[in-house]
């Protein structure tokens, strides 16, 4: 498999880790779009959010709890942050391994794009 995020999750490619457990990995994006830009990925490969099934709902809840923990640990929870998931090309997805963008460190605008 040539998925870059699978390689990062397996430790084959180094990353600047923020959080890791048996199910997910969070690391700094190499091309940040905000002062704080962290990617949270499931270690299991899902190309898009459309591959999720009912049995995966605990994983998705866990990912949001990880985002919560990161925000608190890095102390940007009170200022605010944004969690974004892109799906397929027109949705802005460029890496086809499900991932959640955690943005913080500046005022977020609406609409985003």
- Domain-embedded: residue 79: yes
- Domain-embedded: residue 41: yes
Average pLDDT over residues 38-59: 98
> Domain total for the chain?
1
CATH code at 55? 3.30.428.10
Percent of the chain with pLDDT over 90: 95
pLDDT at 1 over 70: no
- Domain-embedded: residue 26: yes
What is residue 112's predicted lDDT score, i.e. its pLDDT? Answer: 76
Average pLDDT over residues 74-84: 97
The pTM for the full model equals 0.96
Q: State which H helix or E strand residue 62 sits in.
A: helix 57-73
- Domain-embedded: residue 113: no
Q: Average pLDDT of the chain?
A: 96
Give residue 97's domain range. Answer: 4-104
- Domain-embedded: residue 112: no
- Domain-embedded: residue 29: yes
- Which one, of 72, 62, 53, lies nearest residue 25 by Cα? 62
- The set of catalytic residues is 99
What is residue 113's predicted lDDT score, i.e. its pLDDT? Answer: 60
- Domain-embedded: residue 111: no
């Amino acid at each position: 498999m040539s998925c870059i995020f699978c390689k990062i999750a397996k430790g084959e490619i180094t990353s600047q880790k923020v959080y890791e457990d048996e199910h997910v990995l969070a690391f700094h994006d190499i091309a940040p779009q905000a002062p704080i830009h962290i990617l949270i990925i499931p270690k299991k490969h899902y190309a898009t959010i459309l591959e999720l099934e009912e049995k995966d709902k605990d994983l998705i809840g866990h990912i949001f709890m990880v985002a919560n923990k990161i925000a608190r640990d890095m102390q940007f929870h009170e200022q605010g942050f944004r969690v974004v998931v892109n799906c397929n090309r027109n949705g802005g997805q460029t890496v086809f391994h499900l991932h959640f963008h955690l943005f913080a460190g500046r005022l977020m605008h609406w609409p985003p794009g």
